[in-house]
Amino acid sequence: MTHRLTEEFTVDFEPLGRRARVPQGTTLLEAARQAGVGLNGICGGAGTCGTCRVRVVAGEVTPPTEAERVKLEPEAVAQGLRLACQVRVLDHVRVDVPPSSITAPQRAQIEGRERPVELDPAARAFDVTLTPPSLKDLRADAMRLRQALQRQHDVVVNRCDHGALCQLPDLLRENGWRVRLVVRDGEVIAVAPVGISPLGLAVDIGTTKMAAYLVNLESGETLVARGVMNPQIAYGEDVMARIAYAMDGEAKAYEIHLVLVEGLDDLARELCAQVGRGSSEIVEAVLVGNTCMHHMVLGLPVAQLGLAPYVPALAHAYDLKAQELGLHLAPGANVYLLPNIAGFVGADHVAMLLASHMCEAREITVGLDIGTNTEISLAAGGRLLSCSCASGPAFEGAHIHDGMRAAPGAIERIRLNAGSDGQPPRVEYRTIDDAPPVGICGSGILDGVAELRRVGVLRLNGTMQSGSHPRVRGTGKGTEFLLVAAGERGAPRDVVINRRDVNEIQLAKAAVRAGVAVLLEEAELEEGQIERVVVAGAFGTYLDVDSALAVGMFPQLPRERFIQIGNAAGMGAKLALLSRHCREVAEEIARRVEYVELTTHPRFVAAYTAALMLP
Amino acid sequence: MTHRLTEEFTVDFEPLGRRARVPQGTTLLEAARQAGVGLNGICGGAGTCGTCRVRVVAGEVTPPTEAERVKLEPEAVAQGLRLACQVRVLDHVRVDVPPSSITAPQRAQIEGRERPVELDPAARAFDVTLTPPSLKDLRADAMRLRQALQRQHDVVVNRCDHGALCQLPDLLRENGWRVRLVVRDGEVIAVAPVGISPLGLAVDIGTTKMAAYLVNLESGETLVARGVMNPQIAYGEDVMARIAYAMDGEAKAYEIHLVLVEGLDDLARELCAQVGRGSSEIVEAVLVGNTCMHHMVLGLPVAQLGLAPYVPALAHAYDLKAQELGLHLAPGANVYLLPNIAGFVGADHVAMLLASHMCEAREITVGLDIGTNTEISLAAGGRLLSCSCASGPAFEGAHIHDGMRAAPGAIERIRLNAGSDGQPPRVEYRTIDDAPPVGICGSGILDGVAELRRVGVLRLNGTMQSGSHPRVRGTGKGTEFLLVAAGERGAPRDVVINRRDVNEIQLAKAAVRAGVAVLLEEAELEEGQIERVVVAGAFGTYLDVDSALAVGMFPQLPRERFIQIGNAAGMGAKLALLSRHCREVAEEIARRVEYVELTTHPRFVAAYTAALMLP
């Protein structure tokens, strides 16, 4: 091999599945930029902010620098963490990027911990060559195809999708009787010229956001991922508002269904366009969502989901044609929906249980999907218990005085430092995109409450002590804490945390903690026996586990028992897209789950009341 | 552009939505006939009855004639009314047809020999009572239904149609958890309040006419039957014209498909309305038609049907959802199409073979479906041979000088009597509805040729002998026989049979006879061994078997071996609607058939030539 002055190396960023090709000596931060990975880097690569933490899992790089030794705690170093701005590439490298190191624009929450899976999709492609018809061989096109498929691939089909069948005669004749077929469950669902890989689409339909993944079903590769708002947001922020809208007559129920389907259709088209494909090449889609989103996308009535005993119309795993939903994918494309567990424990939670593998694990594991509704599962001793609690919208920044969604300008991290050497105490915070602070998102308010309690501003019961901090001030409506004063770092107005905000967080965190407590009681376990806590979902990804522990939302366990796994529902949807075995596992999970209804549970109220205080 | 002697123009008839393509100078009455619009025209276009009033709303036509000035009142003229028989087309024209100018429903062939059949429809109704959900029983509606069905009726379903599922939750709650389900092949396809019998629809889609039957699937009773024109008639009288239209681009192919589906949809709605039901109560439909109609209703490409080797896209029996076709039946309704045998032996012939039971009989039997294309089958010694021959449109009254469809005023029977006691020979005839004679339909022209031959007017080769009969007269174009003189029984003009008409019948009947001859040869049988001849179809019902024997269309067998069974295709469709066993029989028939291609058969030309002469 000839000597090359500067050699190029690949840098793979996991779990994002992005790759850069860079010369030797390039920093990981530069490589990340090139690969389109939005790594935090508040100091711009000076090594002073310590936010661009990554773990090098394979390949040779430069040794830790002085800046890293200063900025990284010993435990972080022990875990192999590095600052991306300080690490230079010496070979092909694979890097693991923790969700907390990723900047806001990508926060549509599409990343999650991916696990490798054996490729075994429901829809598979086969190339066949047919003998052209003649006066001696007058078999119909459909029969000719069926027999060729059996002879050439030992695949038996008993049906051809009608849309695919309509395309077949011309396609055969235009392509010299050699075509590619996509077969699913004994049915030819698509026909195409040879060489075109069928596409799959996985979508996690959240109440607020949708995360979508476009996948090459032959290679298993994720071609592109994207997060967008759920277009139903225009009909209300939460599930109950949308149920109320849908109950106001058939036309409205249809309208709110249609807006969601059209949103999915747009999303599919845009994802495909981004990689130069067409959405008519998507042959299989997997959708997950909470039970209400599941019913709404299917056009099922939702009235019964809004009334006790909150019974779904449909719970088991469900297959239907994309066409039946009005989705414009391949004419014969199918849509698979994972099973629901109950009215408030939906297919998204099943997907999370699937992706986290927690049901297969030996450890006693708690899984949490934190949102307006929080779904909680407990896997212990072969049992699987699930419940849902109404944690309210505070974690999404709603019902908070200066609350907002996780968007540019939202304060997402807060630290209150004691003033040293006679200096007044400082408030440190980080905003999404480093934009001027305009409000507080869920992870910010959680940090805020945790810090205010830590520095003694908040009492056990959540009230604010006047005079406990220079920034505590009285208003006509009560006491509040001034987080950011108007004008500071370009802030257009004051940003505060008040007593009612603290109360919202108390109510929300108590619901989560009480849910865990009831499941533990049902399983006759103590908190301390929990070996692992898996935290999923958008808020679950960005929250600071220490803060969640500090406010008492989580069982008081050692920090290392917690794992944040990102958008596990989306990952679960992708697994179900790539593997029929994963579908079976998901269906088995839904069958096994023992659903625990909290609203009528004799122990819930006591557990909830006990959890309201701040530790 | 080169000069064209006669240009073709379109004539659109509103509000009927029918279209004709005619040469310049064609009258609107003629165009109406071509478009299948049943315009009044008692005088047959002489301008004397004044009943064919229409309004020309767009396009250039000839100015009012003297006849119109006499027949139309000044007010009518002021409103732009014209007599369709007097107006000649000079350009593309759009015409408004007042309801009063449309004839009584045209005669359609809906009756046929019915055989009793054990009721065993694909879709069956079951009443179930469900336990309402409670906090102790949170099963989803779909699961609750499935389990009740199994417990109460021992019926296992593994799927609920999506449209039916969408109706289920509200229906259950509005009907006190007691509902009627319609189940088909392991799927719940419809839900309804108890007490409502599911409906079935059977349609024979002929190239010219459609015959439809609405059936109560619980009792097997035919509630109502109706025959209507195939709305595709506006796109050409025969299959080849429609294939040509469909080949002129995707939009046109879709248009001609859609007009047929919409026609079926209208038909379903009208039939249901006639018995106070709704077409959303139809849970199963069976369609039969020739291979081209079969493909067109399914929206399959037809180009390959118009080119050798005339291979269908689909031949086997086919099930799809009515919704996939755009038919507005019950949301989960299915459509079943009987199998095709070949490009020119379609599902309608299979239905005829099913209804006639000829395949099960021990006798050597010939079955004939006579039309523009005639399908012929021979059942003998366990074998079943089928072929198709191009018999042309003469039997439907087309390409005949005074030919017309079987509509009021058409001469359908003719007898020529020798004059007795010095009286001149008499012509006796019967018209449909006893209306004044305006033309001759297929059975009439067949009678006419048979009679002209019998009384010695026609020679063996079909030429007319001058002086052989007082009514034989010479014209500039040759010899003709005056059947009805203008004025006789109100006839608006002379009705004649000329040499060319006789020739058309010779060509047509020779094709049929040659087809039978080739099948016999393939089976190594002689004509005399045929024990039964089953004659089906509209023309087959009304033709006089003696006349058909007299012109040599049928094998020369004793009269009692012939049986006319009416619309056997429609009957076969109804059997398939009522009985799954009949579907199996039909599928078995299609598998067993040995198709014989006549166009390339070494013996066909000789047999055809031999059959041209009149006996």
Is A161 in the B-facing interface, judged by CB distances under 8 Å? no
* Interchain pair A170, B301: CB under 8 A: yes
Which residues of chain A make contact with B332, given a CB cutoff of 8 A? none
Nearest to B300 among A166, A311, A600 (CB): A166
**B166 interface with A at CB cutoff 8 Å:** yes
Taking the model in full, what pTM does it have?
Answer: 0.80
Between A135, A165, A342, which is nearest B600 by CB? A135
First to last CA, chain B: 50
Nearest residue of chain B to residue A598 (CA atoms): B135
- Residues A41-59: what's their mean pLDDT? 75
A-chain residue closest to B171, CA distance: A301
Cross-strand partners of B533: B366, B562
Facing A314 at nearest CB: one of B165, B298, B304: B165
For residues B543 and B446, is the Cβ–Cβ distance under 8 A? Answer: yes
Cα(A239)–Cα(A217) distance, rounded to whole angstroms? 33
Chain Cα centroid distance, residue B474:
37
Q: Cα separation of B248 and A568, whole Å?
A: 51
Q: How far apart are CA A417 and CA B359, in angstroms?
A: 96
pLDDT for A38 beyond 90: no
Confidence of residue B99 (pLDDT cuts 50, 70, 90): low
Cα distance between residue A401 and residue A49, in whole Å: 29
The confidence score (pLDDT) of residue B4 equals 45
Measure the CA–CA gap between A50 and A42, rounded to whole angstroms: 8
Residues A88 and A72: their CA atoms lie apart, in Å, by 17
Tell me if residue A208 falls in helix, strand or coil. Answer: coil
Q: What is the mean predicted confidence (pLDDT) over A218-243? A: 88
Half-sphere exposure of B556 (CA within 13 A, CB side): 6
Q: Is A202 exposed, middle or buried (0-12, 13-18, 19+ CB in 10 A)?
A: buried
B contact residues 553-612, partner A, Cβ 8 Å cutoff: 595, 597, 600
Residues in chain A within 8 Å Cβ distance of B177 = none
Beta-strand pair A209-216/A222-229 = antiparallel
The vertex-B166 CA angle with B164 and B172, nearest 5°, equals 80
Confidence of residue A1 (pLDDT cuts 50, 70, 90): very low
**Residue B614 backbone dihedrals phi, psi, to 5 degrees:** -85, 140
Backbone angles phi, psi at B389, to 5 degrees: -130, 150
Q: How confident is the model at residue B6 (pLDDT cuts 50, 70, 90)?
A: low
Task: Output the pLDDT for position B41.
Answer: 59
Asked if the Cβ–Cβ distance from A139 to B170 is below 8 Å, we say no
Identify the pLDDT of residue A110.
56
Residue A422 has a CB neighbour count (10 Å cut-off) of 5
Q: Are B595 and A313 an interchain contact pair (Cβ–Cβ within 8 Å)?
A: no
pLDDT digit string (tens) for A346-390?
999 999 999 999 888 889 999 999 987 899 999 999 999 999 998
Phi and psi dihedrals of A78, rounded to 5? -60, -35
Q: What is the pLDDT of residue A19?
A: 79
Q: With CB atoms and an 8 Å threshold, state whether A300 touches B165.
A: yes
Surface of B (62-101) touching A: CB under 8 A: none
Residues from chain A that touch B163, judged by Cβ atoms under 8 A, are: 324
**Structure-model confidence comparison of residues B4 and B243, the more confident one:** B243
A310 lies within 8 A of chain B by CB: yes
Sign of the alpha-carbon dihedral angle for B511, B514, B518, B524: positive
Measured between alpha carbons, how far is residue B284 from residues A103, A427, B194, B330, B338 in Å?
Answer: 56, 72, 18, 8, 13
Predicted confidence (pLDDT) at residue B26 exceeds the cutoff of 80:
yes
Residues of chain B with pLDDT > 70, as a percent, come to 93
User: CB under 8 Å to A2, separation ≥6 — which residues?
Assistant: none
Instruction: Quote the CA–CA distance of B44 and B41 in Å, as a whole number.
Output: 5
Of A176, A143, A137, residue with least CA distance to B308 = A137
Instruction: Find where tokens 């080169």 sit.
Output: B2
Contact A138 B173 (CB under 8 A): no
If one compares B567 and B146, the residue with the highest pLDDT of the two is B146
Mean pLDDT on A493-501:
94
| Rounded mean pLDDT, B272-288 | 97
Q: Cβ contacts of residue B266 below 8 Å, gap of 6+?
A: none
ipTM of the complex: 0.79
Residue contact A320–B138, C-beta within 8 A: no
Cis previous bond, B309, omega within 30 = yes
Tokens of B315: 């031949």
- Summarised one tens digit per residue, pLDDT across range A504-521 is 999 999 999 999 999 999
Do A343 and B138 lie within an 8 Å CB cutoff? yes
Which residue intervals of A299-382 are DSSP H helices? 322-325, 347-356
* Four-residue CA torsion sign, B183, B286, B18, B302: positive
Closest CA–CA distance from residue B298 to any residue of chain A (Å) = 8
Residue B108: per-residue pLDDT: 45
- Position A29: which residue type? L
User: Is the dihedral angle over the CA atoms A145, B324, B198, B577 positive or is it negative?
Assistant: negative
Per-residue pLDDT of B32-79, as tens digits, reads 877 767 776 545 577 776 778 898 988 999 999 988 888 887 777 877
pLDDT of B565: 87
Which residues, in sequence order, are CB contacts of A205 under 8 Å at separation 6+? A230, A260, A264, A287, A288, A289, A293, A294, A297, A348
Q: What gap in Å lies between CA B343 and CA A232, rounded to an integer? A: 50
The confidence band for A41, taking pLDDT boundaries of 50, 70 and 90, is low
Largest CA distance in chain B: 102
The reply to whether residue A141 touches residue B168, judged by beta carbons under 8 angstroms, is: no
Residue of chain A whose alpha carbon sits nearest to that of B299: A166
Residues of A in contact with B247 (CB under 8 A): none
CB A464 within 8 A of CB A472: yes
B312–chain A Cβ distance below 8 A for any pair: yes
Non-local (6+) Cβ contacts of B116 within 8 A are none
Cα B180 to Cα B101: distance, rounded to the nearest angstrom? 46
The distance from CA A263 to its chain's CA centroid, rounded to whole angstroms, is 18
pLDDT digits (tens, 9 = 90+) for A52-86: 889 898 899 999 998 888 888 777 777 788 999 99
What's the pLDDT band for B104 if we cut at 50, 70, 90?
A: very low
CB atoms within 10 A of CB A75: 10
| Of the candidate ranges A13-17, B296-300, B521-525, B598-602, the one whose mean pLDDT is the lowest | A13-17
Kindly report, residue by residue over B151-194, the tens digit of the pLDDT: 999 999 999 999 999 999 999 999 999 999 999 999 999 999 99
What residues in B contact A166, CB-CB < 8 Å? 298-301
Interface test with B, best of A136, A162, A337, A593 (most B CBs within 10 A): A162
Handedness of CA A568, A573, A575, A580 (dihedral sign): positive
**In whole angstroms, what is the distance from residue B250 CA to residue A183 CA?**
26
Residues B316, A140: C-beta atoms closer than 8 Å: yes
- Tens-place pLDDT, residues B346-391: 999 999 999 999 888 889 999 999 987 899 999 999 999 999 998 8
The radius of gyration computed from the CA coordinates of chain A, to the nearest angstrom, equals 26
Tell me the C-alpha to C-alpha distance, in Å, between residue A592 and each of A380, A529, A535, A588, B376: 12, 22, 21, 6, 61
Give the pLDDT confidence score for residue A6 in this predicted structure: 59
Among the partner-chain residues A301, A310, A343, the one whose CB lies closest to the CB of B170 is A301
**The pLDDT of residue A374:** 93
CA dihedral A251→A256→A258→A262, nearest 10 degrees, is: 150
Nearest CA in chain B to A342: B138
Written as one letter, the residue type at B583 is: R
Distances (CA, A) of A514 to A397, B90, B579: 22, 86, 60
Please give the mean pLDDT across all residues of chain B.
90
Beta bridge partner(s), residue B11 = B20, B93
Q: Is B326 on the interface with A (CB under 8 A)?
A: no
pLDDT at A528 over 50: yes
Distance from CA of B172 to the nearest CA of A (A): 10
> A316: nearest CA in chain B?
B143
Which residue of A165, A309, A316 is in closest CB contact with B133?
Answer: A309
| Interface with A, mutate which of B141, B168, B320 (most A CBs under 10 A) | B141
B340 contacts A140? CB cut-off 8 A: yes
- Average pLDDT (A259-269) is 96
